Amino acid sequence: MPQQPLAQVPADVKWSWQDVAACLGRDVAMFFHPTNERGRTRRRREVTAKSICFSCPVRVDCADYAIRAREPYGVWGGLTETEREAIYASIPIADYPRLEGEGARMASYAIERAMAPEAFTA
């Protein structure tokens, strides 16, 4: 089985979408779990972060970046680490998205499902 590539920033990445992000100026600790955080505490923090992502105008751009970069940590584009790991595992290495927009396109169902009511159950 081929090795999955490690997290890496895509060569064509643009960061301008962050200028209008709903999380701009917010405490980043809400989006990244502290060491050893588990269970309901972790889930509650993730749901709080996801609720901010829900109304973010650049949610799809954020998710696209995180998927292409295989970001291992944090809530990005409304997707938790666990939700993104499922995306990473579902895409064959030879087909892995590299170009801008490909990550969002290939994971569009998971990106929308991450904002479904059941995804906010703490």
- The SS3 call for residue 89 is helix
By CB under 6 A, tell whether 23 contacts ligand SF4.
Answer: yes
Name residue 13's amino acid: V
- Contact segment (CB under 6 A) with ligand SF4 among 32-40, 58-66, 89-97, 107-115 equals 58-66
Write each residue from 76 to 115 as x if it is in contact with ligand SF4 (CB under 6 A), else as -, in one continuous string.
Answer: xxx-------------------------------------
Distance CA 98, CA 64 (A): 10
By CB under 6 A, tell whether 69 contacts ligand SF4.
Answer: no
By CB under 6 A, tell whether 30 contacts ligand SF4.
Answer: no
By CB under 6 A, tell whether 56 contacts ligand SF4.
Answer: yes
Distance CA 47, CA 54 (A): 10
| 90 close to 106: Cβ distance less than 8 angstroms | no
- Evaluated on CA atoms 118, 31, 83, 20, the torsion sign reads positive
DSSP-assigned letter for residue 21: -
> Min. distance of Cβ 59 from ligand SF4 in angstroms?
4
Q: Which residues bind ligand SF4 (CB under 6 A)?
A: 21-23, 31, 52-53, 56, 58-59, 62, 75-78
